[in-house]
């Protein structure tokens, strides 16, 4: 049976700062993403817990979209400016 891990360990696992992870949790509460987390207690400072297998599954499905870089031919193609 898998245990729970704390915020700092999950941030290290994902390769992000703890502040970024807290922002992701806040976005998850607002319905902007579905990062799986558990919080015991009602106070805002109650500790957060995570299951690494759930976080890993979430991270694999939520890879950031990378901007497609133009090719050299596209980047150097002359542009016609309209007035």
Residue 24 domain-assigned? yes
Cβ-Cβ contacts under 8 Å for 17 (sequence gap 6 or more): 11
User: What's the length of the chain?
Assistant: 83
Residue 10: CATH number of its domain: 1.10.1660
- 37 inside domain: yes
**How many whole angstroms separate alpha carbon 76 and alpha carbon 44?**
52
Mean pLDDT by 10 residues, the chain (83 residues): 88 92 90 89 85 91 64 65 64
**What is the extent of the structural domain holding 10?**
5-61
pTM over 0.75: no
Instruction: For residues 65 and 74, give the distance between their C-alpha atoms in angstroms, rounded to a whole number.
Output: 21
Count of domains forming the chain? 1
Q: What are the residue ranges of helices labelled H in the chain?
A: 7-14, 18-29, 52-61, 72-76
Cα–Cα distance between 29 and 50 in angstroms, integer?
A: 14
**67 lies in a domain?**
no
């Amino acid at each position: 049976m898998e245990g729970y891990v704390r915020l700092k360990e999950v941030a290290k696992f994902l390769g992000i700062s703890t502040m970024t992870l807290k922002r992701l949790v806040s976005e998850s509460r607002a319905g902007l993403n579905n990062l799986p987390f558990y919080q015991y207690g009602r106070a805002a400072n109650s500790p957060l817990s995570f299951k690494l297998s759930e976080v890993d599954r979430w991270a694999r499905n939520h890879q950031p979209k990378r901007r497609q870089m133009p090719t050299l031919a596209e980047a150097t193609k002359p542009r016609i400016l309209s007035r």
